[in-house]
A and B are shown apart, each in its own frame.
Chain A
Amino acid sequence: MARINVPPTRSNLLRMKQELQFAREGYDILDRKREVLTTELMRVARDAEALQRKVWDLLAAAYQALEKAQMTMGRERVEWAALAVNKTIEVEVTYHGVMGVPIPTIQAHGGPPEMPYSLGDTTTTLDEASAAFREVLNRVPELAELMVSVWRLAGELRKTQRRVNALQYIFIPEYEETVSFIESSLDEREREETFRLKWLKNKLEKQGQSAEGR
């Protein structure tokens, strides 16, 4: 494991210890963030998956109905009928934050008119297709909200996961290693110092004795 390249001094030891502490706190916070994101993501993903399946089924039916309408009326007449539809659903997007991730909330109001085109020159297949697409459209805002939430949460989770891993497996061990290296070299220096003092003391004492002996 690599250690940070700093000279082993007492002030560096203090600094490294502070930074290690800081990294550990950061790890705790990020770890908690990861937990919250995971729970939230699991909840939203389950809802999204269910709604998605439902909307896809409705959409499959809608495509079939549309095909029938095109077969009985011709594509152009269907397009003309569509021209008569002048109102549709309106959506309002607002955001709320989950752990600093903006999650959209969509409010939908209004909708297409029940019978926008004249009944005279259209067929019931067109009505069916139109009704089927209305069903799909009504669920689009909720689906968009859930899907975007899932993607955003998953993206943020990946980022957090990376940071947690970097702290856990690289930064914290690096600081720990550096701290223990500085501590041991300071200890080593202290031992040398004590030994030197002892040696000096011995020498001085000997000198003193020989001076007295003279």
Chain B
Amino acid sequence: MKVLVIGHPSAVLGFSLVGVHGQVATTAEEVTQALDEALEAPDVGIVLVTEDVAGLIRPRMDQLKLRGSVPLVIEIPGPEDIQTSRPSLNKVIQQAIGIKI
């Protein structure tokens, strides 16, 4: 199965240099549609969503990350988010689930 990128144009272009297909998305509708297609596709194993668009559909993203089945959905920082200081994984989980590790 393949890896797929959804989100920021630079991330999609960069990953296309190593053969990973991508879907550029900048609005909530676009990312929802791209995600729907990716979840339907039989040959997608991992979906990478850049944080700038993942933030637009936060509840759905958190739900997708908790889900067990293939494809696995994870977030990666986009080129703009990567410089900013990031909350630790513990914080992210505490916010989303309310469990302190």
Which residues in A have some Cβ–Cβ distance to B below 8 Å? 41-42, 45, 48-49, 52, 55-56, 59-60, 62-63, 66-67, 70, 75, 78-79, 81-82, 85-93, 95, 101-102, 104, 106, 111-112, 116, 126, 129-130, 133-134, 137, 140-141, 143-145, 147-148, 150-152, 154-155, 157-158, 161
Q: Which 8 A-B pairs have the closest CB atoms?
A: A88-B19, A82-B16, A91-B45, A85-B19, A112-B18, A63-B79, A155-B66, A112-B19
Q: Does B27 contact A (CB under 8 A)?
A: no
Q: A129 contacts which chain B residues (CB < 8 A)?
A: 14, 17
Q: A52 contacts which chain B residues (CB < 8 A)?
A: 89
- Return the chain B residue nearest A152 by Cβ: B68
A126 to B18, alpha carbons, bound, how many Å? 11
* Total residues of chain B contacting the partner, CB 8 A: 37
Q: B82 contacts which chain A residues (CB < 8 A)?
A: 56, 59-60, 63
A88 to B1, alpha carbons, bound, how many Å? 10
Question: What are 23 contact pairs spanning A and B, CB under 8 A?
Answer: A49-B90, A56-B82, A60-B82, A66-B13, A67-B10, A67-B79, A79-B13, A81-B17, A85-B17, A88-B18, A88-B20, A89-B19, A90-B2, A93-B72, A112-B19, A134-B18, A137-B3, A144-B46, A144-B74, A145-B72, A148-B72, A150-B89, A157-B99
A42-B101, A85-B16, A85-B18 provided; 17 other pairs, C-beta below 8 A?
Answer: A45-B89, A56-B82, A63-B14, A63-B79, A67-B79, A87-B19, A88-B3, A88-B19, A89-B18, A90-B1, A106-B46, A140-B3, A141-B3, A143-B74, A147-B74, A148-B65, A150-B89
